[in-house]
Amino acid sequence: MASSSAADVEEHYTRGGLWIAIIVMAGWHVAATAPVVIEAWLAYGLLRSGALIWLAFAAAGTVSAVTLLRGIGPRVALPWAICIVLLAGELADTLVAPGGFFGNHDFGFTSAGLFGLVVLWRRPFAEYLAFLVADALIALAVLILLGEATRAHLAGLIVVCAGGGALPIAIYVGVRAVAATARRAAEAEDAAARSRNARLAAEAVQAARRARYETIRATVVRLLDGLATGSLDLAADQTRQEIAVAVTRLRRFLVESDDVPDPLSHELRACADAAERRGVAVDLIAAAGTIPMLPVGTRRALTEPVIAVLAATASRARITVVASAAEVAVAIVADARLAAPIALAGDSVQCDVDEEGGQLWAQARWTV
């Protein structure tokens, strides 16, 4: 799938091509066709001059250009309705023009090709080709109906088709090719940027993990050293608690992933790390549900009870987060005894505390 920036680049080039098509169309209509129409008007009168058809083409071209440049209007109905007007105009012009299809005053065929380019600019190339074929078939039908389909005239028609179709087709195909090349270049640039960002992020995560590992390693090495030399008393509660904490931290290090950083989880992990450094074994469970973006004040209020309970925890704690778009509940269950009630940092969060059999449960709950 093209990234939005690559699609923007392609659109930029396609729109530039549309301006080229509009300028060619308007330039042709004013500089090349208008003098012919005026000359015919003066010589043969209004009806045979094709001036009304010229005006109809001008109106159709203007409507198409404005709607396309503003990006509004029906996607299929309007372009093809205008195409029918153009083809009807071509037919009428060929019939009324002094000198017929090959006379000096028939502008309809070539004009229809250039106007159709603008009208069908946002449509597939096949549709534009179909329009050009219809344009040519109308000219052929007129030659046959008027009995002018001589070998020389058919050869002339082929030359006119080739000459009249070459410029708009070249514009259509050329602009699309340039736009596609620009899009591919932008996509390659996007991919390179994403890869660069992913690498930098991975390096940052790796550095943070390395730092955490160094902290854990120091504790583990000391404990292993103590076990090896026999200086640690395995029967002592404190030793067993230290080992339990070291094991918990090592396990969390092995399973944690920081690929999708979430500020609340980060803050809770920081709280858990701090508690572990003073000997509490903490189980920090990954959030059930997706944590919405929360303001700093709300996050602080949600982590406040956790910090307070961890500070009073003797040995073990379990921290959980249950989240949805409308609610986040951070809870801790620990063997803790609070010396003072928990002070809340804000009024957007409700705090509940309950104690039973030496286990303290505290929950901070934010709701929309």
Partner 1 sequence: MGASPVDGVVRVALVEDQDVVVEGVRAWIAADPAKRAVVIADGKTIEKALAGPGRDADVVVLDLELGGETGGGLVTGRVAGLCDAGYRVVVFSVHVEPLIVRTVLQAGACAFLDKRTERAQFVDTIAAVARDLPFVTPSMAGGLLHAVRLSQREREALQYLFQGMDHASIARRLKKTSGDPISAATVKQYIERSRAKFAAAGHPCRSQFALLARCMELGLIRPEEIDDYRPGDF
Q: Write down the least CB distance from residue 277 to partner 1, Å.
A: 19
Is residue 264 a contact residue for partner 1 (CB under 8 A)?
no
Contact code string over 344-363 relative to partner 1, x by CB under 8 A: ----------x-x--x-x-x
Is residue 111 a contact residue for partner 1 (CB under 8 A)?
no
Q: Nearer Cβ to partner 1, position 94 or 248?
A: 248
Residues of span 1-30 touching partner 1 by CB under 8 A: none
Q: Write down the least CB distance from residue 186 to partner 1, Å.
A: 34
DSSP-based three-state secondary structure for 137: helix
**From CA 292, how far away is CA 55, in angstroms rounded?**
60
Q: Write down the least CB distance from residue 290 to partner 1, Å.
A: 9
DSSP-based three-state secondary structure for 255: helix
Residues of span 283-322 touching partner 1 by CB under 8 A: 283, 285-289, 318, 320, 322
Looking at 308, 331, 351, 364, which residue binds partner 1 (CB under 8 A)? 331
**From CA 329, how far away is CA 366, in angstroms rounded?**
6
Tokens of 103: 């006379």
Q: Write down the least CB distance from residue 363 to partner 1, Å.
A: 7
Contact code string over 239-258 relative to partner 1, x by CB under 8 A: ---------x--x--xx---
Is residue 337 a contact residue for partner 1 (CB under 8 A)?
no
Phi, psi values for residue 339, rounded to 5°: -80, -30
Is residue 225 a contact residue for partner 1 (CB under 8 A)?
no
Contact 280, 273 (CB under 8 A): no
Q: Count of residues binding partner 1 (CB under 8 A)? A: 22
Contact 244, 275 (CB under 8 A): no
Give start and end residues of each alpha helix (H) in the chain.
Answer: 4-27, 34-44, 46-49, 51-70, 77-96, 108-119, 125-145, 151-229, 237-255, 263-277, 296-311
For residue 360, give the nearest of 328, 334, 322 by alpha carbon: 334
**From CA 32, how far away is CA 100, in angstroms rounded?**
18
Q: Which residues pair with 361 in a beta bridge?
A: 333, 354
Q: Nearer Cβ to partner 1, position 130 or 353?
A: 353
Q: Write down the least CB distance from residue 17 to partner 1, Å.
A: 45
Is residue 368 a contact residue for partner 1 (CB under 8 A)?
no
Contact 351, 344 (CB under 8 A): yes
Q: Write down the least CB distance from residue 318 to partner 1, Å.
A: 4
Q: Write down the least CB distance from residue 305 to partner 1, Å.
A: 12
Q: What is the DSSP letter of 257?
A: -
- The number of residues making up the chain comes to 368
Task: Give the interface with partner 1 as residue ranges (CB under 8 A).
Answer: 248, 251, 254-255, 283, 285-289, 318, 320, 322, 324, 329, 331, 333, 354, 356, 359, 361, 363
